[in-house]
Every structure is written in structure tokens, then in C-alpha cells.
Amino acid sequence: MATTSPRPAWQAQDLTQDLDLSVDELNSVLDLTHKVKRTPERYVKALNGRYLSLLFEKPSLRTRLTFELAIKQLGGDSVTCVGPIAEREPVKDVARNIERWTQGIVARTLRQETIDELAQWSTVPVINALSDLYHPCQALADIFTLKEKFGKLAGLKLAFVGDGNNVAHSLMLDAARLGMHFWLATPLGYEARPEIVAEGRRLAAENGGTLHFTNEAAEAVTGAHAVYTDVWASMGQENELPDRCRIFQPYQINSGLFAKARSEAVFMHCLPARRGQETTDEIMEHPNSVVYDQAENRLHTQKALLLMLLG
Ligand code: CP
Ligand code: NVA
């Protein structure tokens, strides 16, 4: 969002990536989510007459529907456009059209640069609904889910097993800043981006969290409070799936691997899941699986985020 009038308690203009929210703002979203989830009736007119533009370059079930529902449940509404964002005109022109019609832009893009460019040219808030590098709205819901389940975040061991992808990046950045112990287990060659890891390490050190990287799934999962995985091939990487299925096999979350976590450990997945690949039916249906709580919380956290950014 290209503007200069920061509100004293809330400075963030956009959520182009996780670090757009300070630690205080992150905690504010979590606190407000708790209230919105407990007393939704208090917020039914909070964004009366406000509209969102949803732009999707890739498919979505959860993100699209929860943003559409979130703005409606706050008294506003949304319009959705599916397809390439900058095929017919430059991103800067797209941004300067949309800001004339709606009070916010939610975009799922092939490249992070498209979200950054939308934010650079738009005077209304821009929210990242997943890019190749980040999935900050997912991480907000995941962190909220962990806080609900354990009553705290600092000191928890969160093990992400699989691809060092967009979801891993966002979780790592939020966990590091909230005093958690984040472990990432990936095959060789599928690690998180070094520049994002460097930033995560710096933030972890500042906030009492720790980051650990390994190629051994069992090392990451042992003693974990939460075990998280995501698809082995993200949207756009489907042609790599046969190779990835072979390479990632030792990283499948199955009952043998999950048994190494704490007895109260939760199983997490952003969904959609490919049962039989990164996880099994048994683990998806495990009594400690919180995957549908995470999906539900996408709605509540995004309502809080919209209240903060558009309110
Ligand atoms: N987890 C998530 O973002 O799901 P969708 O791709 O269905 O939006
Ligand atoms: N890493 C996955 C997440 C889907 C919600 C992807 O980018 O396709």
C-alpha cells in the first residue's frame, strides 16, 4: 500500500509477507482472532460497505472461500478474478484500477514480485494469499491453532518435514519471532531459501526462538509438540512429482515417524493433502490431527487481519 499515515498502534499497511507484521502486530492479530472467534456477532457491521478484490493466478478452496466469507461476515463483500494478473496490462495498472473500486486486494500469485508490485502501486492494503515464497495467512491460522491447543507458543517445538517451501518459510518466520523452536527436515537440495533462513535466524535470536535444519526427519520430529507437513510438489511443480515422490519418501509422516513426537503432539497440514504421499490416511484421521481446525481458523484469523488492515 503506497501511503504514509501510520496509525500509532498499528503500522502495517499490507501483508505482502510475514515480516510486514511486527511481533506486536502479530500478537494483536492473534488476540483479536480469539475475540472474533468467540463473539462473531460483535463484528457483523465492522467493515460495512467495504469491498475486497480477490485475484487468483492459482487454484484455491480454503483461501478463496475464507476471504469471501470473512469480508461478508464483517458486513462487506468481495469480487473475484481468476487468471493471470498481468497478461493484458502491467501490474501497476491493475493496482491503480482496483484501488478505485475496492478497499483491499488479496492476491495469490505465481511470483512474489507480483504481490510486491501490487503493493508498491496500490493505495489500498495488499494481502498475500500465497506466492512462490510465502503463505502468511496460512501461518497466522497455524500459529493461532497452536496457541489454542497448547495455551502458549514460546518454548514449543514445531517440526516441519518435507519441502522447504512457501508454507515452511512463513511458519519459520512467525515461529522464530514468537519464541518457538522450529525444526525443518528436508531432503538434500530442497532446503528453505538461504536468505529467508538468515533473516529467520536473526529474528529467532532477537526473540528467544531457535531454528534447526536437518536432512533427518526423525531428528526433527523427536520430542516435537507439533509435526507439520505439506505437499511434496507445490502448485506449478506438478511435473516434478514423480522424482519428488521418490526423493521425499523417507519424509512421509506416518504412524512410525509420528510416534517419535510427544504423546500430546498435534499433526498439522495446510491442505490440500495428498494422502499416501506426504502423509497417510491414518495420520490425517489421527485423534491428534488438527488439520480441520487449521482450516476453520483461516476464517477467524483473516477476519482479524481484515479488521486490522481495513478497519
Ligand atoms: N491451505 C490453502 O491455502 O488452501 P487452498 O490452496 O485451498 O487455498
Ligand atoms: N505449498 C503448497 C501450499 C498449498 C496451500 C503450494 O504452494 O501449492
Q: What are the tens digits of pLDDT across the range 153-184?
A: 999 999 999 999 999 999 999 999 999 999 99
Burial class (CB in 10 A: 0-12, 13-18, 19+), 210: middle
Does residue 6 have a pLDDT over 70?
A: no
**pLDDT confidence band for 2 (50 / 70 / 90):** low
Determine the average pLDDT of the residues in 94-123.
98
Between the CA of 136 and the centroid of ligand 1 the distance, in Å, is 12
Determine the average pLDDT of the residues in 282-294. Answer: 98
Q: Is 231 in the pocket of ligand 2 (CB under 6 A)?
A: yes
Atom of ligand 2 at shortest range from CA of 163:
1
Whether cis (ω within 30° of 0) applies to the bond prior to 242 is no
pLDDT at 9: 73
Task: Assign 99 to helix, strand or coil.
Answer: coil
Residue ID of nearest Cα to ligand 1 atom 4:
62
- Residues 6 or more apart from 190 whose CB is under 8 A from it? 163, 164, 247, 248
For residue 105, what is the enclosing H or E element?
strand 104-108
What are the distances in angstroms from CA 35 to CA 23, 43, 69, 303?
Answer: 19, 10, 17, 11
- 271 close to ligand 1 (CB < 6 Angstrom): yes
Handedness of CA 35, 40, 41, 45 (dihedral sign): positive
Other Cβ atoms less than 10 A from the Cβ of 294: the count is 23
pLDDT range class, residue 122, cuts 50, 70, 90: very high
Inter-CA distances, 119 with 18, 47, 92, Å: 14, 21, 9
pTM comes to: 0.97
| CB of 166 closer than 6 angstroms to any ligand 2 atom | yes
Q: How far apart are CA 253 and CA 267, in angstroms?
A: 9
Among 66, 228, 270, 301, name the best residue to mutate to test ligand 1's pocket (greatest count of ligand atoms within 8 A of Cβ). Answer: 270
Distances (CA, A) of 292 to 137, 214, 267, 299: 15, 28, 11, 12
Of the candidates 13, 73, 103, 138, the residue annotated as catalytic is: 138
Within the chain, all domains assigned CATH 3.40.50.1370 are found at 18-134+297-310, 138-293
Domain range 138-293, its CATH number among 3.40.390.10, 3.40.50.1370, 1.10.3720.10, 1.10.3260.10: 3.40.50.1370
**How far apart, in Å, are the Cα atoms of 311 and each of 43, 187, 221?**
11, 43, 40
- Catalytic-role residue among 14, 20, 132, 230: 230
Q: Which CATH number fits domain 18-134+297-310: 3.30.1540.20, 3.40.50.1370, 3.40.50.10680, 1.10.260.40?
A: 3.40.50.1370
Cβ(36)–Cβ(75) below 8 Å: no
Q: Which amino acid is at 8?
A: P
For residue 35, with 0-12 CB atoms within 10 Å meaning exposed, 13-18 middle and 19 or more buried, which class applies?
Answer: middle
How many angstroms separate the alpha carbon of residue 272 from the centre of ligand 1?
Answer: 7
Q: Please tell me the distance between residue 162's alpha carbon and the centre of ligand 2 in angstroms.
A: 12
- Least Cα distance to 176 among 150, 143, 145, 149 occurs for 143
pLDDT band for position 4 (50/70/90)? very low
- Report the alpha-carbon distance of residue 119 to residue 15 in Å, rounded: 9
Q: Are 169 and 193 in contact (CB under 8 A)?
A: yes
Phi, psi of 60 (to 5 degrees): -160, 140
Quote the ligand 1 centre to 281 CA distance (angstroms).
19
**From 17, 132, 270, 300, the catalytic residue:** 270
Of the listed ranges 9-13, 32-36, 40-44, 148-152, the least confidently predicted one is 9-13
For ligand 2, the distance from its centroid to the CA atom of residue 231, given in whole angstroms, is 7
The pLDDT score that the predictor gives to residue 187 is: 98
